[in-house]
Amino acid sequence: MSKVTILDKTFQTSIPEAVILQHVKAVAERINADYEGKTPLFLAVLNGAFMFAADLMRYITIPCEISFVKLASYQGTTSTGKIREVIGINEDLTGRHVIILEDIVDTGLTMKRMVEALGTRKPASVNICPMLVKPDKLEVELDIKYAAMEIPNDFIVGYGLDYCQQGRNLRDIYTLCE
């Protein structure tokens, strides 16, 4: 296992890039099958989901569209509990099949708010597709149909996830060392 230091914290490899990509491909194959004959709109949540979204889209073989929304609820290594929408959605969602691409779902509060907000725009369906889920940290009930992986309640960086805006560029996912 390799280690990296970001600012004042040390992290060690927990999920190598090859394993990440296997899970991304598997999720894409499920979406391709489930949405055959439809044209879903993927909404990628920035900043964290940009790498996941890019890799997932390379495996999507059905007609689709992608757009981006920016929500924020993290500061440092902990969730602030306050979610602020920074960039909104400009597309008409009426009758559309929407798939939210998120880097990680831990408390679920961000996704719950986003699903509720999207529901007011009359989509045909809304599904959540996070790269990672922390099931032990969920505070709200969510129907997460397309999770690529479940992980323990550790703080992680890499593959789009950050610590104080750094570490997003790491190919692997790293866990905070105690």
> Which residues form the catalytic set?
106
The residues, any chain, with a CB within 8 Å of residue 59's CB and separated by 6 or more, are 24, 25, 28, 29, 32
| Number of Cα atoms under 13 Å in the Cβ half of residue 84 | 5
Q: Which tokens hold the place of 165?
A: 């805006």
Alpha-carbon distances, residue 121 vs 29, 62, 74, 110, 114 (angstroms): 27, 24, 26, 18, 11
Residues 6+ apart with CB under 8 A from 154: 14, 175, 176
